[in-house]
Amino acid sequence: MTAPDQYDDDPADRVIRVTICPNIVLGIAVFTSLVFVAYLGRNGVLIFLLTGLVLLARRINFTFRELRDYWWLFLLPLWCIASALWSEHPDLSIRHGVQLLITFLIAVALANRLAPHVFLRIQFGALALAGLASLAVGDVRPDGVWIGIFDSKNYYAFSMVALLLCSFALLADRGGAPVWRFVGLFGTVLALPQIVMAESVGAVMVSVVVLIAALVLLRVSALPAGRQRVTLVIQSALLGGAVLIGFRFREALMNYIFTLTGKDPSLTGRTELWETAIAEIAQAPWLGTGYRAFWVEGNALAEALWADFYIASKSGFNFHNLYLSNAVEIGMIGVALQLVLLVPALVLSMRWVLKAGHAPALFGFMAVSFVFGLSFVEVPVFFEFHALSVMVLVSLVHGLRALRAARDESRDHIGGRADFLPRYSRGWV
């Protein structure tokens, strides 16, 4: 009889194995490069494309399945590419349209290959890093407004609002670990002063409304299913009444807002831009001028608007309304395709919050709500190599997956399929 190996339990001989998930590593690189595109420039775009294409290629069968299952999500970028047929600048329409299509493909892959909780934490990490970098090495516009590491105060504000929404979702997660609630508190403290520093009144006002709506929805999600429906009907009626009252006294309300925010009645020239956009839409209402074919040097109307608004760089300018701006370029058909993405994203994310009530669902609802609220005075989505656009697309796909899982669970409970929704809801896909 032999004695057991005397080294079997020797701590010095123990091997610590660390498992690294390639999808998580790629997801971190993809999303962080997006957040830092304004700071890194072409290098950020290159990192995004390389890591995103690797993510698509390493499981090519998954990529084909995603194309099949979510084909209608790609109608918008395909329409943008098709607009080259009537665009005055077909080379720009094709190039930007293809880049938008690649961004959509990578966003759908992120939503399917990373668990919701994992992707939320990746978003938080990238945005928090951008917030810290903005404080450490940020810059100031010529007019004295702090823009951090970003190229505009609006994008700086949107990114910090996204960080605030991530942080709030982590703080409010009923099933979240205490450490992640502490992380959420840290993110809130980091984001709030920078939102103020960016001096974007629209972003501040919309984010306040979104946070209030999220608190209400969380409260409703804790109720039994029957009471949820009754409560939602009552709240919808109250909201509808408030909208009607607001419309009835809209002039007094707008004057109060102008006085409170210091804005002029033209919303810093937005009303003039909107009138110009409406006149331009009338020239080609269904098809538009072509994707990215309006704000081009040499276009007489674009040149005039740049001159009127002192945009010396002749870039980064738009009609400050999502629907008007896109109707100019891709027509009413393109606007309809955008709404086909945004409306289901809002409805499905709301349904997911009521069903699960956890952090990823809550963030998805808040992100899409923020985009909707901002869409009347800004153009927050959809762009290539754009973090907020990816957040909205991921929220939409997560909502679709949660809906599909719920239907599978209710249809049958065989083959382990009934366990999918709880595991998915807790981020174990």
Which residues are CB-contacts of 45 (< 8 A; sequence separation ≥ 6)? 33, 37, 385
Q: Is the distance from CB of 344 to CB of 396 less than 8 angstroms? A: yes
Domain containing 368 equals: 19-425
Would you say residue 195 lies in a domain?
Answer: yes
Give me the number of domains the chain comprises: 1
- Amino acid identity, residue 322? L
Q: Is the distance from CB of 120 to CB of 404 less than 8 angstroms? A: no
pLDDT digits (tens, 9 = 90+) for 291-318: 999 999 999 999 999 999 888 888 888 9
- Distance, CA of 422 to CA of 122 (rounded, Å): 21
Q: Is the distance from CB of 383 to CB of 389 less than 8 angstroms? A: yes
Would you say residue 9 lies in a domain?
Answer: no
Measure Cα distances from 99 to 14, 23, 51, 384, 393 in Å: 49, 22, 15, 6, 15
Helix axes 42-58, 90-113, angle to 10 degrees: 50
Exposed/middle/buried for residue 185 (C-beta within 10 Å: 0-12, 13-18, 19+): middle
Pairing assessment for the beta strands 146-148 and 139-140 based on DSSP bridges: antiparallel
pLDDT per residue, tens digit, the chain (429 aa), is 445 554 455 555 566 676 789 999 999 999 999 999 999 999 999 999 999 999 999 999 999 999 999 999 999 999 999 999 999 999 999 999 999 999 999 999 999 999 999 999 999 999 999 999 999 999 998 888 899 999 889 999 999 999 999 999 999 987 788 999 999 999 999 999 999 999 888 889 999 999 999 998 988 887 776 666 667 667 666 666 665 665 565 555 555 555 655 555 445 568 889 999 999 999 999 999 999 999 999 999 999 999 998 888 888 889 999 999 999 999 999 999 999 999 999 999 999 999 888 899 999 999 999 999 999 999 999 999 999 999 999 999 999 999 998 888 777 554 444 333 334 434 433
Would you say residue 192 lies in a domain?
Answer: yes
Residues above pLDDT 90, as percent of the chain: 67
Q: Which two tokens stand for residue 391?
A: 């957040």
pLDDT digits (tens, 9 = 90+) for 315-326: 888 999 999 999
- Distance, CA of 28 to CA of 110 (rounded, Å): 10
The torsion of the CA quartet 363, 366, 368, 370, rounded to 10 degrees, works out to -140
Q: Tokens 């605030």 belong to which residue?
A: 164
Q: Is the distance from CB of 151 to CB of 34 less than 8 angstroms? A: no
Q: Which residues pair with 140 in a beta bridge?
A: 146
Would you say residue 12 lies in a domain?
Answer: no
Would you say residue 2 lies in a domain?
Answer: no
Would you say residue 10 lies in a domain?
Answer: no
Would you say residue 8 lies in a domain?
Answer: no
List b or e across 375-410, with b for residues whose CB sees 16 or more CB atoms inside 10 angstroms: bebbbbbbbbbbbbbbbbbbbbbbbbbbbebbeeee
Exposed/middle/buried for residue 212 (C-beta within 10 Å: 0-12, 13-18, 19+): exposed
- Amino acid identity, residue 221? S
Q: Is the distance from CB of 349 to CB of 365 less than 8 angstroms? A: yes
- Distance, CA of 215 to CA of 221 (rounded, Å): 10
Would you say residue 309 lies in a domain?
Answer: yes
